[in-house]
Amino acid sequence: MDRLRVLHTGDVHLGARFTGLGVRRREQRRKLVETFGKVIDLAINAGVHLFLIAGDLFDSNQPAPELVNVVMGGFDRLERHAIEVCLVPGTHDRYSEASVYRRMEFADRANLHVFTRGELTPLELPSLRTTVWGRALIGSQKGDILAGLRRGNSSEWHIALVHGSLRVPGVVEEDEAMIDTASLGASGMDYVALGHWHSLADYSRWGTPAFYCGAPEPLSVRDRDAGFVILAEFPAGGRPEIKPIRVSRRRADILHVNMDEIADGHELRKRIQALADENLMLDVVLRGLTPHHLLLDPIELEEDLSPFFFHLRIKDLSSLSVEHLGRLRLPESTLSGCFVRLAQAKIAESQAEERKLLEEALKVGLAYLSRSDAG
């Protein structure tokens, strides 16, 4: 063979509960299974030689039996096409006494190689002229998990497969499994397949090709660059050709809205609805100072616009100027005026931890009472 073809995935999190998705949580759990099957199809159709799973294939070490069966069925299909599988346990499915990878289904499978040691261990695959270095997460990890890794001479290609956080000053400096950039650069690997971060990212700037493939389906709204796997080709003696491929159906995004810049409720609705997509998980975060005429109930707005999205959540973190409300001089003859004055008195005597809750109650209550006064 004149080149090695590899598919790199990870952070599939089969069995994730998705409690924040409400009634859509079961649908998204099923989607993870469907997308995993799609990744298996992609590997077979692309004619890869090696299938890498960079940790957290399962969301826990107690996956439902049907999920284990799905995975075994996928590995069987890969075996029928002579595709080797290398897997490292991650933070969610770490290798412990209760590890799912101790089950008999994962033992003695000719094409499956699960790294179960807590230190970097080489696995030579002579038929592929490749050495894969991997390590399992076992208990609490201390120090640099790539420390001391060096390329050998036993194979044409050397690949590292690890689950952890790259130490990037000012961005990520501490996590339970850390990777120092100096070790990454000194390793001499042809490729470092990274897992743990759920968004696609290229960290090859330290002289070694290194990528987070991200989760194949977004797991939360923070995973804006999730939904990919990486197809890598390694020509003999040359640099790898890296191709991220989108496999997800869902997308995730966060819309930040400065309430100081919103003219009226219609404009706010229009901004949110402009992103309408039945496959989008969207968080809308309201910030800034909310004008009196724009007071709204975020729960009601969320209910009105949810049919346009796979999942919508509106988080009102905007501020309400109590002093501004006092200057409005709302007539005491109105419910709004009476309510504002009673609420202001309560806020004035509240403790810091209670103040935010009372201000939120004032915003929502005044939004409803303003309609009553207008009617």
pLDDT classification of 374: cutoffs 50, 70, 90: very low
| The token pair that represents 310 in the structure block | 């796979």
| Residue 16 CB-density burial (10 A; 0-12 exposed, 13-18 middle, 19+ buried) | buried
- Count the Cβ atoms, other than its own, within 10 Å of residue 254: 14
Rounded Cα distance, 194 and 218, in Å: 17
pLDDT for 358 beyond 90? no
Domains of the chain: 3-246 (3.60.21.10), 251-374 (no CATH)
pLDDT for 370 beyond 60? no
pLDDT the model gives residue 265: 85
Percentage with pLDDT > 70 across the chain: 90
Q: Which residue has the tokens 């939904």?
A: 227
pLDDT classification of 181: cutoffs 50, 70, 90: very high
pLDDT the model gives residue 15: 97
Each residue's pLDDT tens digit, 321-342: 555 555 555 566 667 667 777 7
pLDDT for 371 beyond 80? no
Torsion from C-alpha of 309, 36, 89, 44, nearest 10 degrees = -150
pTM, two decimal places? 0.86
pLDDT the model gives residue 338: 75
Each residue's pLDDT tens digit, 144-179: 999 999 998 889 999 999 999 998 777 766 777 899
pLDDT the model gives residue 326: 52
Q: Is pLDDT larger for residue 21 or for residue 296?
A: 21
pLDDT the model gives residue 239: 85
Each residue's pLDDT tens digit, 31-60: 999 999 999 999 999 999 999 999 999 999
pLDDT the model gives residue 332: 63
Rounded Cα distance, 35 and 45, in Å: 15
| Residue 330 CB-density burial (10 A; 0-12 exposed, 13-18 middle, 19+ buried) | buried
What is the rounded average pLDDT for all residues in the chain?
A: 89
pLDDT the model gives residue 256: 97
Each residue's pLDDT tens digit, 215-235: 999 999 999 999 999 999 999
Rounded Cα distance, 221 and 225, in Å: 10
230 backbone dihedrals φ, ψ, rounded to 5°:
-115, 130
Please list, in sequence order, all residues whose beta carbon lies within 8 angstroms of the beta carbon of residue 176, skipping any fewer than 6 positions away.
Answer: 91, 137, 140, 141, 164
Each residue's pLDDT tens digit, 235-261: 988 789 999 999 999 999 999 999 888
DSSP for 196-223? S-SS-EE--TTSS-EEE---SS-SSTT-
Q: Are 309 and 282 in contact (CB under 8 A)?
A: yes
E strand intervals along the chain: 3-9, 50-53, 84-87, 112-114, 121-125, 130-134, 157-163, 165-166, 178-179, 191-195, 201-202, 210-212, 228-235, 241-246, 251-258, 277-287, 309-316
| The token pair that represents 29 in the structure block | 């759990």
